[in-house]
Amino acid sequence: MIDIWTRATNRIAERLFDELSHSKEGFNSLYMMVDSGARGSKEQVRQLAGMRGLMAKPQKSLSGATGELIENPITANFREGLSILEYFISTHGARKGLADTALKTADAGYLTRRLIDVAQDAIISEDDCGTIMGVPTGALKEGEDVKEPLAERILGRVSVHDVSDPLSSVVIVKSGEIIDEERAQRISETSIETVEIRSVLTCEAKRGVCASCYGRDLTTGKLVAAGTAVGVIAAQSIGEPGTQLTLRTFHTGGTASLIASQSQILSKFDGTVKYEGVKFIEYGSEEEKHPVVSGRSGIINILDKDNRILTKYDVPYGATLMVRDGHATTKGELIYEWDPYNAVIISEHGGTVKYIDLKESVTYREEPDEQTGHIQKVVIDSKDRNLIPALSVVNAKGQKVANYPIPTRAHLIVDDGEEIKAGAVLVKIARDIGKTRDITGGLPRVTELFEARHPGDPAVVTEIDGVVKIGQPKRGSREVFVESHDGKDRRTYMVPLGKHILAQENDVVRAGERLSAGAIDPHDILRIQGTTAVQEYLVNEIQEVYRMQGVKINDKHIEIIVSQMMQKERIVDPGDTKYLEGDNVDKGRIHDENDSLRGKVVVVSKGDSKFKNGQLATKKQTRETNTDLKKKSKKVCEVRDALPAVSEPILLGITQASLSTESFFSAASFQETTKVLTDAAIEAKIDHFLGLKENVIMGSLIPAGTGQKLFRDILVTPRDIEEIVEEPVAEAPAGEGTEEEPKKRKRKSRVAAS
């Protein structure tokens, strides 16, 4: 019902804009204002002249969920005027908008302050750090929708390798060249899907960032100049739209910004269908059976005549496939369809359904569906922890062939004792997408990501590739085993009983995949998949929040903040360095310390030498000492090579990163002043004044722009004082001047001395 209304509203908006664009030959004032981006949004114009659309409910529903929709939309627009009831519904939104605005402006300001603090010392320090690392970048997709094309994402960045046209082998961009508009366009016209570009995330500059890894300065369109304070620019670029994130509810007046989700996938090319790891069950009537997907890692490839992959589609669990393996498909043909609003559990066997621990008013209750009015059985949290709701399927001989645990908030589609076929839907679980994406969720989500917080209800994630086996319930949780393909490694994970287990028995999973419903903890991604994966996750997730609001922020700004969050590493084994196990130390410092140990040895037994046991010395020193001792027939010293420190990357939130910065002046002026200063005093810290903030506090020149160290020792020499410049004075117009010939005046050159 809601989907139909959402689509109707969107179609009205499209027709309205089509009409407006032709009105007055494209010079309609409203259309020009919105289209140019000067003021107003399509959403607002839709409400003025189209229809207001669906509205969000102000109060919580019986089940405690917020943000549900009022079924019947406001079909009137502001030009026509609202009825009394429509006006009353609209007042909810207006009140909510004003309250949100007041509360959230402060939050946005605080976010900006923290961002500035964490990024203030990111300054362009050199032209090229010389790294050979980069970040492979492709078009950003959601499902099959291209959210941001490849050309936009690589524009103004520096390529790591030569980029050649796959067909003609002509080099479009050479390694180390900046990708301008023309080159980006040429790349997008080829079949290239990813380009490896230089990024702040992989920059190896000792301090700050190098110009090649940053790329184009967005204000000038040229390669960024040395001394540009890119950190502050990044923080302001992210913080400033934060105020818009908060105020957006206010503009729509509570109109539900529900996204009409794509429920079908059409083929983009003519070609041959090839299944890859697709598990399915035949379901339907005898005349018309379709495969229903019963695995989670299936891919459908479309191949050309030479068996090259033209495109690939990830097939969701529960999707109905419309084409079979080997089918010759045409462009625009339906490949598969699925329910975007509900996750489902499908029976893999036919038989009779039996309810296990499903008791009315104890583990499930009947409640009317708010959109359709139909009575539905909804599983609820039981007070009795011994009851574990499940559905089992029994065959004709009375043997149990399958058992499906049911999560809370799931809707039961089948009744006890019902006969079903293999592939039938047993349970539907509403996805969050069906709820309205309220913008107030925008800012807290951005904050949660930047602070690298552990989510409140995290998903259980597998640490190894392998096959899933589902075990028995134990103490309020269910055991899920993942066994590696070679059988050498087996991990056990405990999933709380009320949670929806995403993996089925015998599913093949990859390390980092979710086994249960919930948000993924970024710290888990870092631990399992490494730094590149967590950096990509954070950048994409933060961009997703802003993109939903129609706010465009260049990736490089978010990359700078994320790289600042990953400046520290934790010492796992200190080796022969001065650090202790568990210390959080700056990446650069660990590398410098490890470099200083090269060519050094540790004295194990001093013999008759002057060294001390455990002392660090150079190989040359110990060699010379031992030669002398041998000559004197004394006991030589025994040595071993010095061991470098072993560290692992850690992810710090922006507040933590600001407080653990190298400069204690900067940290003390941010938060927790007493603690920062006492810690600095105990450690006898030295502040080298390398950032902007500490120099501002001390009243020195900031190390950015012309105040950089690089320019400080430049001497500006005076020109020759005796040099006299003769300048003819412009002739006076007739009637004004009395002198007949133009005067010559002498002036000494100005002397600029440093």
Same domain as 143, residue 93: no
Residues 11 and 63 in one domain: yes
| Torsion from C-alpha of 233, 235, 236, 239, nearest 10 degrees | 160
Same domain, yes or no: 76 and 17: yes
* 152 part of a folded domain: yes
pLDDT tens for residues 668-696? 999 899 999 999 999 999 999 988 999 99
Whether residue 754 is predicted with pLDDT greater than 60 in this model: the reply is no
Q: How large is the average pLDDT for residues 475-494?
A: 86
Q: Is residue 531 part of a domain?
A: no
Ramachandran angles phi, psi of 586, nearest 5°: -60, 140
Q: How far is CA 25 from the centre of its chain?
A: 42
Question: Environment class of residue 39 by beta-carbon count within 10 Å: exposed (0-12), middle (13-18) or buried (19+)?
Answer: exposed
Any domain includes 487: no
Residue-level pLDDT at 648: 94
- Domain harbouring 72, CATH code: 1.10.132.30
Query: Are 129 and 193 found together in one domain?
Result: yes
Whether the predicted pLDDT of 336 surpasses 90: no
pLDDT of residue 159: 93
pLDDT value at position 629? Answer: 87
- State the pLDDT at residue 251: 37
Residue 503 lies in a domain: no
In a domain, 66, yes or no: yes
Q: Output phi, psi for 185, to 5 deg.
A: -65, -45
For residues 86 and 132, state if they share a domain: no
> Are residues 138 and 66 located together in one domain of the fold?
no
E runs forming strands in 14-90: none
DSSP one-letter code for 749: P
Q: Confirm whether 363 is domain-assigned.
A: no
DSSP for 681-748, please give it: HHHT------SHHHHHHHTPPPSSGGGSHHHHT---PPPPTT-EEEEEPPPPPTTT---SS--EEEEE
Q: What 3-state DSSP class applies to 124?
A: strand
214 and 136 in a common domain = yes
Range of the domain at 27: 2-100+246-252
Co-location of 78 and 129 in the same domain: no
145 and 222, same domain (yes or no): yes
Give the span between the Cα atoms of 558 and 201, in whole angstroms: 10
Asked whether residue 213 falls in the same domain as residue 163, the answer is: yes
Please report which confidence band the pLDDT of residue 330 belongs to, taking 50, 70 and 90 as the band edges. confident
Q: How far is CA 409 from CA 205, 296, 373, 475, 479, in A?
A: 51, 22, 17, 21, 21
Most confident of 260-269, 305-314, 738-747: 305-314
What is the pLDDT at residue 68? 64
Query: Which helix (H) or strand (E) covers residue 400, if one does?
Result: strand 400-405
Q: Which of 196, 228, 260 is the last residue of a domain?
A: 228
Query: What's the confidence (pLDDT) of residue 259?
Result: 47
Q: Measure the CA–CA gap between 139 and 142, rounded to whole angstroms.
A: 10
79 and 139 share a domain? no
Beta carbons of 321 and 293 less than 8 angstroms apart: yes
Write the pLDDT tens digit of every residue in 30-67: 889 988 888 888 888 888 888 888 877 765 544 444 55
Number of domains in the chain: 2
CA torsion, ordered 241, 242, 247, 248, to nearest 10 deg = 70
| Residue 77 and residue 157 in one domain | no
Token readout for 547 is 């993109």
The residues with which 367 forms a beta bridge, in sequence order, are 376
Average pLDDT over residues 217-245: 89
- Over residues 547-557, the pLDDT tens digits come to 877 788 999 99
Rg (CA), the chain: 33
Please tell me the pTM assigned to this model.
0.77
Residue 437 has pLDDT above 50, yes or no: no
Residue environment code for 171-202, b if the CB has 16+ CB neighbours within 10 A, otherwise e: ebbeeeebbeeebbebbeebebeebbbbbbbb
- Report yes or no on 644 lying in a domain: no
- Amino acid, single-letter form, for residue 222: K
In a domain, 23, yes or no: yes
